[in-house]
Amino acid sequence: MVKATALAIKAIIDGTKALIAAIAAGGWIAVLIIVIVVLLGCAVSIFGGGGNSNAYTPVSAEVEAYDPLIQQYARQYGIPEYVEFIKTVMMQESGGRGNDQMQASECGYNTRYPNSPNGITNPEYSINVRSQNLADCLNAAGAENPIDMEHIKLSLQGYNYGNGYISWAKTNYDGYSYANAVEFSAMQAEHLGWDGYSDTQYVSHVLRYYPYGRAFTSDGNQVIVEVALTQLGNQDGEPYWSWYGFVWSGAPASCRGAPINAVILRTALSRNYLSVRTV
């Protein structure tokens, strides 16, 4: 119970990082709607999980230390809203340790160092390479935002297997499933004459560190999200709401110098944007 409480506290912190800045910008009632959704989702998923080994695990301090660089390269490659997502990948790959903490040496975007395990000896370059790689996978998978878990899962397995998996899974199965990940692995292993091919459970291995996905993936929590979203208004005919930092239309000019991770979230529920109404 002590461990579960500690995890719940950490999940709540992760879900409310930008609360103070958001309230300062105005529209605090709408902001609290989103915060409540995240808190309920995190708490229910943690306390309701019992002995579930897939419960949320925070990333390490070593990973968090790279936050500024991750923000920089996420922005450079057009995925600024996926900072926390990139951290989860780093956590799975290395726990934030070593000089190639994203295990990017064998990636095709590595043009400076040997394309062999741990060939990269510059942590910043490792983040640079894999941020570009992850951006490609997210785009190929059709991920709309950081809580579009269906497509995030597809992008993750494609990241681990290579982009060929993404197009194959879309064509043959209309997306990711653990079963087709196993099938693809077996097919590749046979083709290459190997005993095995990559990590068939890469998706679950990474998502145990993802603070936002679990708040939105269980059936009960999804209902909460959908109800909350119906309560959000439309500001100035430009409907949208933000994921991280809660930036929205009509915010005072003094608040528009948003932190890099304060970005627009395109909701998974619709291609139409939703807005947080300022009050």
Q: Which of 116, 92, 91 is nearest to 201 (CA)?
A: 92
**Domains in the chain, ordered, with CATH?**
2-55+213-265 (no CATH), 61-207 (1.10.530.10)
Structure tokens at 207: 């998502």
CB 165 within 8 A of CB 158: yes
CB 255 within 8 A of CB 25: yes
> Residues 69-90: what's their mean pLDDT?
97
CB 207 within 8 A of CB 178: no
C-alpha span between 165 and 181 (Å, rounded): 8
Q: What is the pLDDT of residues 134-146, one digit of tens each?
A: 999 999 999 999 9
C-alpha span between 144 and 271 (Å, rounded): 8
pLDDT at residue 38, as a whole number: 57
pLDDT at residue 278, as a whole number: 36
**Terminal Cα distance for the chain, rounded:** 40
C-alpha span between 49 and 127 (Å, rounded): 33
C-alpha span between 115 and 108 (Å, rounded): 8
Q: How confident is the model at residue 61 (pLDDT cuts 50, 70, 90)?
A: very high
> Residues 182-202: what's their mean pLDDT?
96
pLDDT at residue 31, as a whole number: 52
**Beta bridge pairs of residue 264:** 242
C-alpha span between 153 and 164 (Å, rounded): 15
State if pTM tops 0.75: no
> Residues 146-170: what's their mean pLDDT?
95
C-alpha span between 264 and 12 (Å, rounded): 21
pLDDT at residue 104, as a whole number: 97
pLDDT at residue 212, as a whole number: 79
User: pLDDT higher for 213 or 194?
Assistant: 194
User: pLDDT higher for 235 or 90?
Assistant: 90
Contacts of 137 (CB under 8 A, 6+ apart): 155, 156, 158, 159, 163, 166
Q: What is the pLDDT of residues 216-250, one digit of tens each?
A: 544 445 444 544 444 444 343 333 334 433 333 33
Identity of residue 268 = A
Full DSSP string of 144-160: -STT-HHHHHHHHHHHH
pLDDT at residue 211, as a whole number: 86
Evaluate if residue 52 carries a pLDDT over 90: no
C-alpha span between 134 and 140 (Å, rounded): 10
Q: At 241, phi and psi to the nearest 5?
A: -140, 160
Q: Which of 39-53, 69-83, 188-202 has the lowest mean pLDDT?
A: 39-53
> Residues 257-270: what's their mean pLDDT?
35
Q: At 264, phi and psi to the nearest 5?
A: -75, 135
CB 245 within 8 A of CB 263: yes
Three-state DSSP class for 242?
strand
pLDDT at residue 246, as a whole number: 38
pLDDT at residue 15, as a whole number: 54
Q: How confident is the model at residue 34 (pLDDT cuts 50, 70, 90)?
A: low
C-alpha span between 86 and 141 (Å, rounded): 16
Q: Which of 6-15, 152-161, 174-183 has the lowest mean pLDDT?
A: 6-15
96: left (phi over 0), alpha (psi -120 to 50) or beta: left
> Residues 125-131: what's their mean pLDDT?
98
